[in-house]
Amino acid sequence: MSLHLQENLSLKPFNSFGVDVRARLFAEAGSDDEVRLALTEAARRGLPLLPIGGGSNLLLTADVEALVLRMANRGLRILADDGEQVLVEAEAGEPWHPFVLWSLQQGLTGLENLSLIPGTVGAAPMQNIGAYGVEIKDVFAGLTALDRHSGELREFGLEECAFAYRDSLFKQQPGRWLILRVRFALSRQGALHLDYGPVRQRLQAEGVDTPSAADVSRAICAIRSEKLPDPAVLGNAGSFFKNPLVPVELAERIRAEHADLVSYPAGQGQVKLAAGWLIERAGWKGFREGDAGVHRLQALVLVNYGAATGAQLLALARRIQADILARFGVELEIEPNIL
């Protein structure tokens, strides 16, 4: 078995911002063995290994002096089914949204609120992706990862992954773990999550009083399509900033000046603020400088209008962060990985 290596390859097709930087070396891995070959080849050449999935949570600011490995392993399977609870497994290279649609076709609930999120299955636990009241941790049943230090495979359960808001052990230890496949605990009769955001209102407006998981998925796809630009049309990485957690006292100080502050109780004396509201209130919505900008309909989304560099997009993000801190005393954290 050999690994097909390409030199000096443009990564523009492999990141959703459409930033045109080059990889010193590039390869795709369709199996565990090819992943190991890539690790060996990177070590032989004295290069770091940079695994990527769909490139939808990535901002590339310069050429990449690494062996960039695109995870291309595919496969979906049902491991156990007792008629109610179903354990499914997906290979890391599976595109996320088609995997969600596959689960719905099997008559399963649990992933519908995570519809239309870009990226791959293997990248999903890294960020503990979430939307409309559901996160990966809520349906997670385990994963298999390769320890890049020892070369051994390791199985991870829920507690070991240290999932938090858009965070996990795998994000905290970059360069250590390479996720190969992920397992999910789904249901044939699970309760639907309809109370976060405009999901229920959307279904009611469509006259759907007793929705199925497929109905919820369809409604969420429609909502996301209206709110977020398609990366195939306008380069972006979805939400660029995390919704910040702040002390209740700070939230109340902001609310005293801005009665329409969008916030959610987070427990333990904290409140989650809507980063998009902060950015829009500060006047950044629709801002454009050259080809780097803030989306005209969604202030949480930075966009590449064509030829913006990663450095230009990052500079814009830093300006927004500084402005929000000065105006509101709130630190915004960037969600995508910056390279």
Same structural domain, 331 and 268 = yes
Which one of 227, 248, 282 terminates a domain? Answer: 227
333 or 2, which is more confident: 333
pLDDT more than 90, % of the chain: 84
104 part of a folded domain: yes
Same structural domain, 123 and 15 = no
54: confidence class by pLDDT, cuts 50, 70, 90: confident
319 is annotated as an active-site residue = no
Give residue-wise pLDDT tens across range 295-304: 999 999 999 9
Structure tokens at 337: 């990985």
Which one of 71, 90, 105 terminates a domain? Answer: 71
Interatomic CA distance for residues 14 and 52, integer angstroms: 8
Q: DSSP letters of 41-95?
A: HHHHHT--EEEESSSTTEE--S-EEEEEEEE----EEEEEE-SSEEEEEEETTSB
Which one of 179, 194, 227 terminates a domain? Answer: 227
112 is annotated as an active-site residue = no
Q: Mean per-residue pLDDT for 134-138? A: 96
Give residue 95's pLDDT: 96
For the cut 70, the answer to whether the pLDDT of residue 240 exceeds it is: yes
Show the domain range for 215.
76-227
Same structural domain, 89 and 219 = yes
Give residue 288's pLDDT: 98
C-beta neighbour count of 30 within 10 angstroms:
15
Same structural domain, 178 and 80 = yes
pTM: 0.88
Give residue-wise pLDDT tens across range 201-238: 999 888 998 999 999 999 999 998 888 888 889 999 98
Give residue-wise pLDDT tens across range 81-129: 999 999 999 999 999 999 999 999 999 999 999 999 989 999 999 999 9
Same structural domain, 180 and 318 = no
Please report, for residues 38, 175, 306, the alpha-carbon distance to residue 44 in angstroms, rounded to integers and kept in the order given: 10, 17, 37
208 part of a folded domain: yes
For the cut 90, the answer to whether the pLDDT of residue 327 exceeds it is: yes
Give residue 1's pLDDT: 61
Q: What is the CATH number of the domain that holds 67?
A: 3.30.43.10
298 part of a folded domain: yes
Nearest to 140 by CA among 118, 170, 98, 116: 170
62 part of a folded domain: yes
Structure tokens at 200: 């229920």
For the cut 90, the answer to whether the pLDDT of residue 292 exceeds it is: yes
Interatomic CA distance for residues 36 and 57, integer angstroms: 24
Chain centre to alpha carbon of residue 112: 15
Same structural domain, 295 and 251 = yes
148 part of a folded domain: yes
Q: What is the CATH number of the domain that holds 105?
A: 3.30.465.10
Number of domains in the chain: 3
For the cut 80, the answer to whether the pLDDT of residue 19 exceeds it is: yes
Task: Say which amino acid occupies 160.
Answer: E
59: confidence class by pLDDT, cuts 50, 70, 90: very high
166 is annotated as an active-site residue = yes
Give residue 276's pLDDT: 96
Same structural domain, 178 and 103 = yes
One of 24, 166, 218, 281 is an active-site residue; which one?
A: 166
Ranking 15-24, 51-60, 295-304 by mean pLDDT, the lowest is 51-60
Ranking 111-115, 156-160, 237-241, 275-279 by mean pLDDT, the lowest is 237-241
Same structural domain, 106 and 221 = yes
122 part of a folded domain: yes
Q: What is the CATH number of the domain that holds 325?
A: 3.90.78.10
Nearest to 125 by CA among 156, 148, 98: 156
Q: Mean per-residue pLDDT for 332-337? A: 93
Same structural domain, 63 and 204 = no
Same structural domain, 40 and 10 = yes
Interatomic CA distance for residues 138 and 130, integer angstroms: 9
Interatomic CA distance for residues 141 and 181, integer angstroms: 11
Strands 130-131 and 235-239: unpaired
**What 3-state class would DSSP assign to 317?**
helix
Interatomic CA distance for residues 71 and 35, integer angstroms: 8
1 part of a folded domain: no
Tell me the CB-side half-sphere exposure of residue 51, using CA atoms within 13 A: 32
Task: Say which amino acid occupies 148.
Answer: R
Same structural domain, 108 and 207 = yes
Give residue 227's pLDDT: 82
Nearest to 292 by CA among 61, 65, 63: 61
58 part of a folded domain: yes
Give residue 197's pLDDT: 72
Find where tokens 């000046």 sit. Answer: 257
One of 56, 103, 115, 239 is an active-site residue; which one?
A: 239
Same structural domain, 175 and 188 = yes
* Contact assessment for residue 71 and residue 30, using Cβ atoms and an 8 Å cutoff: no
